[in-house]
Each structure stands twice: as structure tokens, then as C-alpha cells.
Chain A
Amino acid sequence: ETGVTQTPRHLVMGMTNKKSLKCEQHLGHNAMYWYKQSAKKPLELMFVYNFKEQTENNSVPSRFSPECPNSSHLFLHLHTLQPEDSALYLCASRPGRAGGLSSYNEQFFGPGTRLTVL
């Protein structure tokens, strides 16, 4: 059973809507990630948070706005999205600081939110 949950699991929104994706982890991890997975593309890292501080923004458009109020919760606020933003959005967490070379660098993923932008 995954310790990372994501809500909603499915979301359909118009280009003028504002919505938020939520990620919650109950594993005591300190690093959290947002990924975007589009069809036929590698997983794309969007944002990284270490101990609630954003440490990486992978050139993500400003219509995606992350928020990490505490080590257990991560949000992705969405506004004025485009149809090409339709994808599976995955959240992940990891013990300790992001990175480092060991099997403890294993990231635990949530089930994802399937987003469709009309």
C-alpha cells in the first residue's frame, strides 16, 4: 500500500478554470516532487521541495504554481492551462534530502492525477 496519496485521481477542466492537485505522504519524508507524464514522453520533473523549500523548478510555466505548506503536503495550483498540459501528474517523496547515491534515493510515488484540459 502506497504511503503517498493524490487527489483527485481524475480531473477535467476548462482553460479558464483554476484547480489544485493535492499530494500527501505519511512516510515522514522530507523531499517531495511533482512530475508530469505525457503520452510517449519520458517522465518530466517539474518541482522539487526539500524540507518545505523549493530547490528545483525545471523551467515550468507560471500557470503551474506549487505550494508546500509542510513536509507532508504538496499542492500544484493550476490556472489558465492549455490542452497540451493534459497529462498524468505524479507526486513522489523521498527520505531526507533530494538526491544522494544509495537505494535510499528511492522515490515513493503516488497514483497520480489524470488531468484533461478542454
Chain B
Amino acid sequence: AQKITQTQPGMFVQEKEAVTLDCTYDTSDQSYGLFWYKQPSSGEMIFLIYQGSYDEQNATEGRYSLNFQKARKSANLVISASQLGDSAMYFCAMNSGYSTLTFGKGTMLLVSP
């Protein structure tokens, strides 16, 4: 069984600052994938970034980077230079083999001017 834990129900950050959203996971599989999704108030889930368990380098996509620490089973999302439009719910998710995605409870990020 897989499990995703997001311990921060809410986070506040000022515009232009960096913020880290925490995610830890639990799986007995050796090969797995980790995802981050953003959900604005409109409801749509938007894919942000992916990290494979065998990828040696941390994934980056524009202002998003994934701080992958395999031994600690953590996959934190780092957003650099926050923008007002980054205010949303953020979900960490994982899968392994041919299993479907398992999602965490999410973190609400609020970016203030």
C-alpha cells in the first residue's frame, strides 16, 4: 500500500519569496513516481512536476523544483519567486508499477502582496 502525507494544512508566503511544501511518502516498492498538482479555486487539477524514483537529479520545471530525498522518503515542492497566482491547493501524489495515483490531503498556499 502507498501513502502520501502532507503535514501542512496551510502555508503563507509573501510575493517574490520562495516557499517549500512538504510531502513524505511510504511505499514498499523500489520503483515509483512522485507528482505534484496544483488546484486553483476553479477546481481543475494542474500537473506541475514529476520525479521518478531512479532519477538521480531533482526535477525542475520553471519556478518549480522537487527536493527529492529518497532515504528520507520525502519529495518537497519548492516554488521560487512566488506570485499571487500561485495561491491554490497543492497535492502531492505517487504511483508505482501499474497502480493508479495516491494523493495526499493537500496544502493550501496563500501568497500575499
Q: Is the CB of B98 within 8 A of A97?
A: yes
Assembly CA distance A100 to B96 (angstroms): 7
Q: Is the CB of A99 within 8 A of B95?
A: yes
Please pick, from A41, A92, A109, A114, the residue contacting B105 in the complex, using a CB distance under 8 A: A41
Assembly CA distance A100 to B47 (angstroms): 16
Q: Is B32 an interface residue (CB 8 A)?
A: yes
Residues 11-31 of chain B: 1 if any A CB is under 8 Å from the residue's CB, otherwise 0? Answer: 000000000000000000001
Residue from A48, A92, A97, A101 having most chain B Cβ neighbours under 10 A: A101
Is the contact region of chain A dominated by helix, strand, or loop, or is it mixed? loop
Q: Which residues of A contact B31 (CB under 8 A)?
A: 101
Please pick, from A41, A97, A105, A111, the residue contacting B42 in the complex, using a CB distance under 8 A: A111
Q: Is A66 an interface residue (CB 8 A)?
A: no
Q: Which residues of B contact A42 (CB under 8 A)?
A: 4, 102-106
Residue from A2, A43, A106, A109 having most chain B Cβ neighbours under 10 A: A43
Assembly CA distance A11 to B73 (angstroms): 40
Assembly CA distance A30 to B52 (angstroms): 22
Assembly CA distance A13 to B35 (angstroms): 34
Q: Is A74 an interface residue (CB 8 A)?
A: no
A44 vs chain B, min Cβ distance (A) = 8
Q: Is B45 an interface residue (CB 8 A)?
A: yes
Q: Is the CB of B43 within 8 A of A101?
A: no
Assembly CA distance A101 to B33 (angstroms): 6
Q: Which residues of B contact A92 (CB under 8 A)?
A: 45
Beyond A45-B100, A56-B100, 4 extra complex contacts between A and B, CB < 8 Å: A43-B91, A43-B93, A101-B97, A109-B44
5 contacts between A and B (CB under 8 A): A42-B103, A90-B43, A107-B47, A109-B46, A111-B43
Task: Point out residues on B near A: beta carbons under 8 Å.
Answer: 4, 31-33, 35, 37, 42-47, 50, 52-53, 91, 93, 95-106
